[in-house]
Amino acid sequence: MHETMVAQSLLAAISSEADRQNARPVGAKISCGTFDAINDEILCFAFEAVAKGTGCEGVKLEIEHKPIRCRCRDCDRNFDFELSSPICPECGSEKFELLPDAPLLLETIEFQTEQRNV
Amino acid sequence: MYKVDIGKKILIANEEYARKNSRFLAKRKKLCLNMISSPGSGKTTILIRTISELKDKIKIGVIEGDIQTDIDAERIRAATSAVVQINTNGSCHLSAAQVCGALENLPTDDLDLIFIENVGNLVCPSAFELGEAGKIVVLSVAEGDDKPAKYPSIFAKSKVLLINKIDMLGAGVQVDFDVEKVKADARRLNKDIEIFPVSAKTGEGMSSWYGWLTESVGNLRL
């Protein structure tokens, strides 16, 4: 349910860039880490609700989920953390540490070429 | 159509307030801990007992987060007058801006330690930094021993895990909870996490938790 606050922050960021570009935004790509616990359906629904009646109404979100990276303390390899099988895929060790989770980022915004005020 | 690269953090506004809170606390050398758990794990009972039993050593204040009511703030008030209630009116987590306002309403200069009791929820609060020095996750034995595996984020991010209501394990109550499994699962996610099995009701195990708190507050005073 914290997706609502994410949606509001996202709306502010897209609106501010749309003002700078003086163009109509149509899509935005965001990326998030596993621990951000973002549910795509809920975020899209929340964004649709907060964007209604603003210049960002109708903006389509594309959400990329990044895996948690780990470093094995036995063989020093980096790998993606799988909750279902939390072991190093190279050496089978259970001794590893989680690397910092990917941040919640607004990556790109797609705009219509025509200026919005024309 | 054309694309513009942004590459900016979405929760930047929250993070700016979190940094402001963190600076405010660091300047005054106050320890601030963000307590997170499911509803009903015993956060408020842990706080009341901790505040009362440490009152001669550490002055503790509380920022109390709830969706509605000031029931918890009233309970805390029996142990300390330094309590501020935040009602989120439906929101599932506290934001750094709310904590910023609450810090101004606490007698911060008279305190050593400020607990933020977050809204009862094991998922959302872990995504919002509040400017705290560390997170404390509480898991009560009645919730089951699969929680670190099912809700890894908060266990990965916390400094301390309090396993609460351990009095239920020996009371002839049928509770399927393997303390060692929880310890192993939590340490797999977070090798440095401190784990204290406690009962805030009977007081069992609380002295180790107090030891950690006293040491942490002492380190800040240096």
pLDDT tens by residue, B67-105: 999 999 999 999 999 999 999 988 899 999 999 999 999
Residue B4 lies in a domain: no
* CA gap A8, A2 in Å, rounded: 10
Residues of B contacting chain A (CB within 8 angstroms): 1-14, 91-93, 95, 123-124, 126-128, 149, 152-153, 156-157, 188-191
Question: b vs e for B156-189, b when ≥16 Cβ sit within 10 Å of the residue's Cβ?
Answer: bbbbbbbbbbbbbbeeeeebebeeeebbebbebb
As a whole number of Å, the end-to-end CA separation of chain B is 58
Strand spans (E) along B92-186: 113-117, 134-140, 160-164
Residue-averaged pLDDT of chain B: 94
B222 band by pLDDT with thresholds 50, 70 and 90: low
Closest-CA residue of B relative to A87 is B188
* Each residue's pLDDT tens digit, B20-70: 999 999 999 999 999 999 999 999 999 999 999 999 999 999 999 999 999
What does the block give as tokens for A70? 């780990």
Domain boundaries, position B117: 12-221
For residue A27, count other CB atoms closer than 10 A to its CB: 17
The residue of chain B with its CA nearest to that of A12 is B10
- Classified as helix, coil or strand, A18 is helix
Put simply, the answer to whether A5 touches B91 (Cβ < 8 Å) is yes
Taking CB atoms and an 8 Å limit, are A2 and B11 in contact across chains?
no
Q: How many domains does chain B have?
A: 1
Percent of chain B scoring above 90 in pLDDT: 86
Q: Which residues of A touch B147 (CB under 8 A)?
A: none
Q: Is residue B5 part of a domain?
A: no
Q: Which residues pair with B60 in a beta bridge?
A: B113
User: Are A107 and B1 a contacting pair at CB < 8 A?
Assistant: no
Alpha-carbon gap, residue B199 to A57, rounded angstroms: 51
Task: Convert the pLDDT of each residue in A28-38 to its tens digit.
Answer: 999 999 888 89
Residue B9 β-bridge partners:
A105
Q: Is the pLDDT of residue B221 over 80?
A: no
Residue A85 has pLDDT above 90, yes or no: no
Q: Cβ neighbours of residue B126 under 8 Å, at least 6 residues apart?
A: A35, A37, B36, B135, B153, B154, B157
Q: What is the pLDDT of residue A95?
A: 85
- Topology of domain A3-112 in CATH is hypothetical protein PF0899 fold (3.30.2320)
Mean pLDDT of B102-117: 96
Residue B170: the pLDDT is 80
Return the H-helix or E-strand segment holding B214.
Answer: helix B206-221
Write out chain B residues lying below 8 Å of A17, CB-based. Answer: 4, 6
- CATH number of the domain bearing residue B172: 3.40.50.300
- Do the bridges between strand B194-197 and strand B160-164 make them parallel or antiparallel, or are there none, so unpaired? parallel
Residue in B7, B13, B127 nearest the CB of A2: B127
Whether B7 is covered by a domain: the verdict is no
> What is the mean predicted confidence (pLDDT) over A89-115?
90
Q: Compare CB distances from B153 to A30, A37, A104 and report the shortest one's residue.
A: A37
pLDDT digits (tens, 9 = 90+) for B163-194: 999 999 987 778 889 999 999 999 988 889 99
Residue B182 lies in a domain: yes
- Domain chopping of chain A, boundaries: 3-112
Residues B195-207 have pLDDT tens digits of 999 999 999 999 9
Give the confidence band of A117 by pLDDT, cuts at 50, 70, 90. low
pLDDT given for residue A118 in this prediction: 47
Q: Tell me whether strands B60-66 and B134-140 are parallel, antiparallel or unpaired.
A: unpaired
